[in-house]
Amino acid sequence: MSAVGSTNSGSQLNPLLPLGEVAAPPNTMKVLENVQQQTGPQTNSALCKRLSPDNNTEGTESENAPIGGHKRQRTKSGSEMDNMVVSPLIGSECYGKSGSEVQVVAPPPLCERNSRTLRTDGLEENSTESSCSVASRDNNDVNISSYNNSISSNIGDCNDVGKLDSKNNRQLSGNETKDTQVLLNGCSSIENISNDISGAESPQCSATLDYVTQLPEGCSGSKPSTAASSSILESTTLEPRRLDTSLDSDVDLEDDDNYLDSSEGEDDTDMTTTLGDEDESCGEDDNQSVISSVTIESTCSLRSVASEVASTISLNEQGQATNEDGSLLYNSTPSTTPLPSFNVSLFSHVPPAINFCKYNEKTDVMPSVIQRLLKWRLTNITPLIVKKTVTNSGFKMTKKTALWNGTWGKHMKSPLFKDIREFQKLNHFPGTFQIGRKDKLWKNFVRLQTKFGKEEFGFIPKTFVLPGEMKAFKTAFDKEGVKKKWIVKPPASARGTGIQVIHKWSQIPSDGPVVVQRYISKPYLINGTKFDMRIYVLVTSFHPLRIYLFQDGLVRFASVQYKTNSATLEDRYMHLTNYSVNKTSATYTHNEDAGQCQGSKWTIKALWGYLKAQGCDTAALWSRIADLVIKTIVSGESDIVLRTRRNVRSRYTCHELFGFDVILDEKLHPWLLEVNISPSLHSASPLDHSVKGPLISDLLNMVAFHIPDKLSHQQQTTLLNDLKLGEGVSGLCLDRRMYTRLLTTEELSKHVRINGQSRSEYLATVLENITPDDLRYLIMYEDERARSGGFSCIFPTQESHLYFAFLEKSRYYNILMDAWESIYGTCRQKGIDRLEALCAIMHHLQVPQKFKLPKTAIPPPPTPNLSSSPRQQPLSPKQKPSSPSSTG
């Protein structure tokens, strides 16, 4: 059997626990053409397969303790928490333990500033807290000690850091930039660094304390029962699994985007700056040309995204979308033979990921010992296409057990993420309502618009959040008069519910919160009909930021031809493009053929073919959309990173698919209408399947599901012998070392040092010595890219540093990725070879000594001091010393 894959509120019920358990105008197009000329090619990663076995695993499983300062105080040495580096500035009671890891203790405050404590709901409120001192308890911690001394000894030191910070144009947080005192600036920059000791992503102390007391059994770092694992030791027999092809009977509960929990994010503090009069025209005129200078530059790197898809698609004489060579776009037939069960990593000693086939295919039957471990938690909103995909790929559905590995569910409040264990994966990050709620989206957007101008942030129609901004809205309304139209929306709804197009003041609802947005009254029309685009965006990590754009999507048409006169405004079939609205229209026309430009729903790829035939620079348009996507994600990044650090234990846990709704105005200028954090995956037609089938399988492959680490070394060895995954695969199960956030003293000091450098400096230095921690991040990134299928990476790219200005804080791993892309972005294989040379000697498995090595993990060789001298790092696989693996 070949198993090697090809790439391709308060007390609240936790939905993830078992039931009952608590827990552009003309000139725009010109600019776009210029942009196209600047485009450079971007090499795609190539696969690298390895061929060497290693049988060094043994024993049972182990769990790491949850993250958090207080937890560390309470846990015994040896848990992951014990080794966590905690931001020195987030609280006054965070302690580390001695050892080779960094010890960080915050003594009484030397510098005080408004800091934040965590409420029980995971949100922030102001408090004054120690924020500027760190201390070491251990003589070994030379670097952090001196770092500590340098910042805590006197104000001058703080000033120095602040100066260094500004000299290097590092980004300060919103609050920080408002601070005029040098002292506070200095402290702030230190905080930036310390928060971005990114291994040091630990929840704030107070949150951790709550967490420790709330954790359900089995989640606090104690060992789960080994009974289950011992009971499965013997059996490796293959049990037949049938392909589930019953998609015809698709009865998804949801037929459109899911509503947000209406309370999600509502209790957040308001961080919006309301625009002054001068700014009220920002983004309000759909005839306005808004061109981003950053866009112009950065689309150079995004061009590869565009050219891969948009520019190559044409329509043939029959009106079908075709590839460049004339072949039909949607003519692939599902595989009739089972596909491999695993995707093997590009790198040695990295466990394989489960291969997800499409909903209408199947993978090889897994050995029963593995089958029993693959559990998918069913939720009320799990889309049928997800169910089919995961069951055909080896998972069993479950509602009962807490030991699930994957789930696809609703968004949860941030604190509930603390219940997710290290071997579990779910489709959300905490805090994404920051872009998923219409009111929050606008508030975050306007913050950046105020700072950077409408040239950069002019792609959301002017919006007011009522009743708070009623006065400003009245002023804008009166200025425009009744000629201008507005669209009124509930702040956290979906599917067109509660939406109204208006032009009279009397139509403004006086009760309840609503957003009122400038109506794009001159949309680009096809066959006289309005449409919008559903763009799928996958974020696999917020720190470092990794954003992928799916190359296909949906075009949703209104079912009645568009008219501009005000008498038509009540016609939802004319002015709204939601499928949920229009499917009930007598004039809604189904389109069964994904390649055809016909009916009320098209694919994005078919749209590109159509627009190209109209003379549109589709590649440039796609780049504009990619730019809009990045800036939108960036607008919520800071809060999401913070919540993730506080509430999520493992880097393995989160990923999120976003549905961006974009409308084109008559000049083909893209406008963002909203972002859905639970985009509909309902598939009612072959066209839907053509888009969402690959979307889901590609997504699940990219985020890499591993077999839970519940198999002994002996079991893994036996299975690997049978599965024949290649010599470089030495372990079969999730390896928690790959996802640890622990840093050694040396790694921490590197973070501090690099965070203080200018771009030209860090480009020259950050990759000189790749630390084990660096390596783990780079491996994950390259593997992800290699399995990206129909997704294109739009961040990081060689130009993504241009977006750093919009981020509230400079973060180490974004810097690392920037340098990586800068050096290897056009010669990926070289970079992959360099990483593989290090993986071959298990450099990535070198973790801080106090990391509690699960018994199922392959023991790494004795630590070579690789990071002390660049020359000691292997540069190519050919140079590698004898090791348990080799590259193919």
Residues that bind ligand ADP (CB under 6 A): 461, 487, 489, 493-497, 499, 517-520, 532, 576-578, 661, 663, 673-674
Phi then psi for residue 502, to 5 deg, are -135, 165
Q: Which is nearer to ligand ADP, 454 or 741 (CB)?
A: 454
The answer to whether the peptide bond before residue 107 is cis (omega within 30 degrees of 0) is no
Query: 198 pairs with which residues across the strands?
Result: none
Q: CB of 283: closest distance to ligand ADP in angstroms?
A: 10
Q: Cβ closer to ligand ADP: 555 or 626?
A: 555
CA 178/CA 168 separation, integer angstroms: 18
Max distance between CA atoms of the chain, in angstroms, equals: 79
Q: Which is nearer to ligand ADP, 578 or 798 (CB)?
A: 578
Kindly list the distances between the CA atom of residue 427 and the CA atoms of 414, 416, 513, in Å, as whole numbers in the listed order.
13, 14, 28
Nearer to ligand ADP, 429 or 459 (CB): 459
Tokens for 519? 């109506």
Nearer to ligand ADP, 674 or 808 (CB): 674
CA-CA distance, 118 to 120, in Å (whole number)? Answer: 6
Q: How far is the CB of 489 from ligand ADP (least distance, A)?
A: 5
What distance in Å separates the CA atoms of residue 339 and residue 361, rounded to the nearest whole number?
8
Phi, then psi, of 412 in degrees rounded to 5: -120, 160
Cα separation, 149 vs 135, in Å, equals 7
Instruction: Kindly state the smallest distance separating residue 495's Cβ from ligand ADP, in Å.
Output: 5
Q: Tell me the closest approach of the beta carbon of residue 521 to ligand ADP, in angstroms.
A: 7
Q: Closer to ligand ADP by CB, 186 or 490: give it.
A: 490
CA 793, distance to chain mean position in Å, is 11
d(CA 873, CA 109): 41
In the complex with ligand ADP, which residue's Cβ is closer, 676 or 757?
676
Give whichever of 429 and 671 is closer to ligand ADP, judged by the CB atom.
671
Q: Which is nearer to ligand ADP, 461 or 553 (CB)?
A: 461
Burial class of residue 667 in the structure, from the number of CB atoms within 10 Å of its CB (0-12 exposed, 13-18 middle, 19+ buried)? middle
Nearest-approach distance from CB 754 to ligand ADP, in angstroms: 41
Q: Which residue has the tokens 């348009």?
A: 621
Minimum Å gap between C-beta 532 and ligand ADP is: 5
DSSP tally for the chain: helices H, then strands E: 26, 22
The least distance separating ligand ADP from the CB of residue 204, rounded to whole angstroms, comes to: 33
Which CB, 556 or 811, lies closer to ligand ADP? 556
Least CB distance from residue 438 to ligand ADP, whole Å? Answer: 6
Q: Do 797 and 821 form a contact (C-beta atoms < 8 A)? A: yes
For residue 259, which phi and psi values (nearest 5 degrees)?
A: -70, 150
The answer to whether 704 and 546 have CB atoms below 8 angstroms apart is no
Nearest to 496 by CA among 599, 576, 399, 391: 576
Residue closer to ligand ADP by CB (options 5, 496) is 496
Q: Rounded CA gap, 731 and 709, in Å?
A: 10
Least distance (Å) between residue 492 CB and ligand ADP? 9
Cβ–Cβ < 8 Å for 817, 34: no
CA distances from 118 to 184, 315, 432, 826 (A): 21, 55, 18, 43
Nearer to ligand ADP, 162 or 496 (CB): 496
Question: 544 near 776, Cβ under 8 Å?
Answer: no
- Comparing CB distances to ligand ADP, the nearer of 520 and 738 is 520
Nearer to ligand ADP, 210 or 285 (CB): 285
**Does residue 82 contact residue 103 with C-beta atoms inside 8 Å?**
no
Start-to-end CA span in the chain (Å): 20
CB of 220 to ligand ADP, least distance (A): 39
**SS3 readout for 121-167:** CCCEEEEEEECCCCECCCCCCHHHHHHHHHHHCCHHHHHHHHHHHHH
CB of 409 to ligand ADP, least distance (A): 19
- CA nearest to 556, candidates 531, 522, 528, 585: 531
CB 395, min distance to ligand ADP, A: 31
What does the alpha-carbon distance between residue 444 and residue 383 come to, in Å, rounded to a whole number? Answer: 30
Q: Which is nearer to ligand ADP, 502 or 839 (CB)?
A: 502
Question: In 677-780, which ranges are E strands?
Answer: none
Bridge pairing between strands 375-377 and 406-407? parallel
Closest distance of CB 686 from ligand ADP, Å = 23
* Sign of CA pseudo-dihedral 447, 452, 454, 457: negative
Q: Which residues pair with 660 in a beta bridge?
A: 535, 675
Minimum separation from the CB atom of position 661 to ligand ADP (A): 5
**Closest approach of ligand ADP to the CB of residue 363, in Å:** 35
CB of 667 to ligand ADP, least distance (A): 15
The C-alpha atoms of residue 460 and residue 455 are separated, in whole angstroms, by: 12
Give the residue with the Cβ less far from ligand ADP, 420 or 663: 663
